[in-house]
Chain A
Amino acid sequence: MTKYWNEPKECMTKEDKDQLQLERLQETLSRAYHNVPHYRRLFQKQGIDPEDVQSLRDLANLPFTYKTDLRDNYPYDMFAVSLAEVVRIHSSSGTTGKPTVVGYTRRDLNTWSELMARALTSGGATRHDVIQNAYGYGLFTGGLGVHYGGEKIGASIIPISGGNTDRQVMIMKDYGSTILACTPSYALFLAETLEDLGIKPEELKLKFGIFGAEPWSENMRREIETRLKIKALDIYGLSEIIGPGVAVECLEQKGLHVMEDHFIVEVIDPATGEVLPEGESGELVFTSLTKEALPIIRYRTGDISRIIPEPCACGRTLRRIGRIQGRTDDMLIIRGVNVFPSQIEHVLLQMGDVQPHYQLIVDRVGQLDQLEVHVEVSETFLFDEVRALEETASQIRSRIESLLGISVKVRLVEPKTLPRSEGKAKRVIDNRKL
């Protein structure tokens, strides 16, 4: 079995990696400066010459790129090549405002396929595998990202895309899928469906799954692994950077290796923009090193994680990031404590609620912040006795309190009463006037 897809790159020494990153960074900066008006204006305004960047440390002096920059330059003005060179366009869903448009040259697609080939290989995939690709095909990068990576390693791809669960199950069983690629919540839904149909994991050939595109937790991982009897690996990416494959877990399952020969990762304090010491949690910022169509400099992801500096037992020297802990735009500071909605989700998952629907409502009463958590009553939490319901609410409350260290109020509410927008739940209502 091949352990690495590209051993020279995945296991390069720190010196070689630094050298490669610096060369590629300088190239990227020069290309962005000369071909993207936005970057030229920005650099000139701040008196920065791309030639000034002589070491990787100089990166910290460069300005950030925000999602709004992509929106302001909608659709193609952030591209560094003409459309004649662009062979693929993807775009985000645009839950808030205009969508963001991203383009790929032929070489960009090759790079992306390479990264996804590495990702699949690190889970153990070979040309003998059958990949059931239940990520959505289309404008969303998930489907085609996995698709091209799987083709590159020579595996058999089933491009089933998302949905149509009955057919997913039939194909999984009859076609002998060995790898499942989808969102973690859909993996759980598939597990449930299999149980309902009385199909045991032993009747399937699945050995691992590669799950991403939404936040999940260690609890969900355990749930997926025991119910489907597979290894569940986390994959990270965003279309602005390239799509899935920016970072991926190996079989050690202790963080996601960042593809550092193609991207530089930084972790910054989202409030000040300062680069944080290695190991501290903050906002992930990526700079592309090889992208032709859409070079991107210090992109603010809004995702919170940390760099894991220690070497990984798998042998890869690409540094790891921890599981995404939340979003900067979700983060609440309540009585000085940082609160991520994902932490509340974590508690509810722990209590057996498989797909929790909840909402955090923050108010300031007098000088004191108050956090109220509304939780939709699911079948798991429904009891005929008021006492049992109250006990459930108080258990949720005490678990959240011990996790966060602040007092909260928990209120059970009727199903489907918390607002949902385009399938993405609105998790936080902050009524504080700060």
Chain B
Amino acid sequence: MLIKQLSVFLDNSPGRLNAATKVLSEAGINMRALTLADTSDFGVLRVIVDKPEEAMSILRSHNFAAKMTEVLVVEMEDTPGGLTKILDILEEGGINIEYMYAFVGTKPRKALMIFRVNKPDVAIALLKSKEVRLFSTEEDIEELIHVYW
């Protein structure tokens, strides 16, 4: 129920993001979702790709510091209160969100939310019990492109 996400350390200077994504594109790796967290000195690129292991080794061989983590990818209603519904469930389970980022797809009235939480197993069980749809495999993630985008 967890999806692999790569985090890449980048200097906060012009061209670094492009350098990292270029390495991926040249290797024929497709990005499904991404976000950038930044400070004045550095940034962390978080990206979900179709071939995470391959992406990881390519990034490392190009001297990027990269780390693989696991995140929840949750489908929710793209209507007022859609996010609240999910957050209520997580709050009920006493789950802390370390970070999250959202996508609005082309599928009518659906949005995607990517969560990094402190207790992923508890979160998965709770969300499933409330019949929230979770993406569980890299194949499922294909839908991010074909259905949502």
Contacts and interface: CB of A to CB of B under 8 A. Distances in A.
B41 A411 contact: yes
Contacts of B10: 414
B9 A377 contact: yes
Given A384-B116, A413-B42, A379 B65 contact: yes
Interface string B108-122: 000000001000000
Contacts of B39: 386, 390
A251 interface: no
A315 interface: no
The B contact surface, by secondary structure, is strand
Nearest to B37: A386
B64 to A, nearest CB: 7
A416 B9 CA distance: 12
Contact of A389 (B11, B42, B66): B42
Given A382-B67, A389-B44, A415-B9, 17 more contacts: A378-B65, A382-B7, A382-B65, A384-B44, A384-B67, A384-B69, A385-B98, A385-B99, A386-B38, A389-B9, A389-B42, A393-B41, A411-B41, A412-B42, A413-B11, A413-B42, A417-B11
Nearest to B9: A377
Contacts of A390: 39
Contacts of B18: none
A74 interface: no
| Chain B: interface size category | 20 to 34
Contacts of A384: 5, 7, 44, 46, 67, 69, 116
A377 B42 CA distance: 11
B120 to A, nearest CB: 13
Nearest to A387: B98
B44 A377 contact: no
Contacts of B41: 393, 411-412
Interface residues of A, number: 18
A386 B36 CA distance: 10
A383 interface: yes
A422 to B, nearest CB: 19
Contact of A415 (B38, B42, B46, B65): B65
A414 B67 contact: no
Nearest to A393: B41
Contacts of A386: 37-39, 44
Interface string A404-425: 0000000111111100000000
A414 B99 contact: no
Contact of A414 (B7, B64, B69, B98): B64
A377 B46 contact: no
B55 to A, nearest CB: 15
Nearest to B116: A384
Interface in A360-395: 377-379, 382-386, 389-390, 393
A180 B99 CA distance: 48
A155 to B, nearest CB: 42
B16 A414 contact: yes
A378 B9 CA distance: 10
B99 to A, nearest CB: 7
A410 B62 CA distance: 24
Contacts of A411: 41-42
A370 to B, nearest CB: 15
Interface in B45-83: 46, 63-67, 69
Contacts of A379: 65, 67
A382 B11 CA distance: 13
Nearest to A416: B63
10 closest A-B pairs by CB: A384-B7, A416-B63, A384-B69, A377-B65, A386-B37, A377-B9, A382-B65, A382-B67, A411-B41, A415-B65
B26 to A, nearest CB: 18
B44 A414 contact: no
Nearest to B99: A385
A379 B64 CA distance: 10
B37 A415 contact: no
13 contacts: A377-B65, A382-B7, A383-B7, A384-B5, A385-B44, A385-B99, A385-B116, A386-B37, A386-B38, A386-B39, A389-B9, A412-B41, A414-B64
A378 B46 CA distance: 18
Contacts of A414: 9-11, 16, 63-65
